[in-house]
Structure 1
């Protein structure tokens, strides 16, 4: 049998290859960069699971503003996303409040996390839930943006002061809230005034101000032609501003309210909550209006 001939190159040993680099192992303690603020605005609305108002899908809550073609539910607010240490402090406060309501026949739902365990942003409201028509929403946002931009209001901080219970306007839900101190330069009242006056131009009721200001709402069409005309009295609503931490379909008893309001806030009072923009949610779209 003939021998198989190999080339000289096949007789030699193969060139030594450089050692393969081991795949980089992620350090479990390595901190990931925070998500940009605009990312949360893109996903600020939960997936709709029903075209009808089904309270069983969201803890028994009933929709205050029904879905109507051509109507745009609108909310103006300041957003706070607590960091991990702040979340831990808030969780401790809710745990203490729950234990003090142990003998009450109510269920307190946390607003710190969603049903899937995802952290939720908290907020201070600058408007009640209102409705704009399709032909109004762009003009309203333009007016609000103009007034915030030219207000001269700068970024600011607030500090929590006490716990309190409040209800919504329909008294269908009760909220355990953190009240906050009046910030420097009366910033919250000034922003509330801008929100109230901007909404009044489009015939919408103010937040905290008496709802009986029918004259303002009836003359909304006239004010659309004169948006710079002031409409809301400069009152002090510092005691009204708050951050909701939890909600319940059942009103706590007077004794239960007292027991929870007496919880020692401890480290909560050391938190400085920063705000650098006003948020306007119109339908499913969230717009950020930056402060100076």
Structure 2
């Protein structure tokens, strides 16, 4: 395909010389800060990165290994509450993640922030209400219906949580360690109520509950408040003593000003994310 040919922009013909200089528009564009915020559903459209391989290739995602192998007809599924920190909140969170020296001779544990992607885009944070489970194609509709009815019948209104401490926590398989903000138990015990609803929906499709040791334990509505947290960083290696000792010296008082609001439950099945609004009190 040939390039488009343009006339010489340096022409000094009489007709060009007589043209008055163009007027500059008074209003070119509104400042970005004046633009309205994006609707929450916008983030759901771009919740997943583009799939570049169906094989377990740790080099594509920071050395992480796929916990559940990709199988045609299987749908990785996750229930969670999502939080996009504001521009004022992000510096508070960034200061909680230990900085790392570029001196590789120290063989430091490599810590990956969950606040931004490798390209600098802000990432959402979340509180998990399920494990990463796998549904069969024919189970998706039943599961979504179960979750929808559970949330609608829960009478749980939008609520706030407040972080109260910082700690390291491994995943179920101890293949990754996460730097997490534990959150206080909210009023009306809403986190536990949503977890119980999630675990009941999972039981209907034969999936294991989160935090409970069995489906029977999950049905007893135990208190799992000690388990609710928001991950802000991760590492593949168990943190060393110096990575845990510093936690005792961090001033967490500014976190008391963080009132993190949740108004919907997120259900991710494959690459599709559905937001189920929490019912408003009438």
Alignment counterpart, residue 51 of structure 1, candidates 50, 54, 57: 54
TM alignment of 1:4-153, pairs within 5 A: 22-26=25-29, 28=31, 30-94=33-97, 97-98=98-99, 105-153=108-156
Q: Return the offset for 1:104.
A: 6.2
Q: Find the structure with the greater CA-based Rg.
A: 1
Q: Return the offset for 1:21.
A: 7.1
Q: Return the offset for 1:262.
A: 3.8
Distance in 2, matches of 1:158 and 1:231, equals 22
**Structure 1 spans left out of the alignment, 5+ residues:** 1-18, 218-229
- Are the aligned partners of 1:104 and 1:256 in contact in 2 as well (CA < 8 Å)? no
Q: Deviations over 1:182-225 (max 9, x none)?
A: 00000000000000111011111111111xx2xx49xxxxxxxx
Q: Which residue of 1 aligns with 2:182?
A: 179
Alignment counterpart, residue 239 of structure 1, candidates 204, 210, 226: 226
Q: Please give the root-mean-square deviation of Cα atoms over the aligned residues, in Å.
A: 2.2
Distance in 2, matches of 1:92 and 1:98, equals 9
What SS does the corresponding residue of 1:286 show, helix, strand or coil?
strand
- Are the aligned partners of 1:177 and 1:242 in contact in 2 as well (CA < 8 Å)? yes
What SS does the corresponding residue of 2:142 show, helix, strand or coil?
helix
Q: How many residues matched? A: 256
**Structure 2 spans left out of the alignment, 5+ residues:** 1-21
Q: Which residue of 2 aligns with 1:202?
A: 205
What SS does the corresponding residue of 1:93 show, helix, strand or coil?
coil
Distance in 1, matches of 2:91 and 2:188, equals 30
Deviates more, 1:102-111 or 1:183-192: 102-111
- TM-score of the aligned structures, taking structure 1 as reference length: 0.82
Q: Which residue of 2 aligns with 1:12?
A: none
Distance in 1, matches of 2:33 and 2:238, equals 44
Distance in 1, matches of 2:218 and 2:119, equals 43
- Are the aligned partners of 1:200 and 1:231 in contact in 2 as well (CA < 8 Å)? no
Distance in 1, matches of 2:261 and 2:140, equals 28
- Are the aligned partners of 1:164 and 1:261 in contact in 2 as well (CA < 8 Å)? no
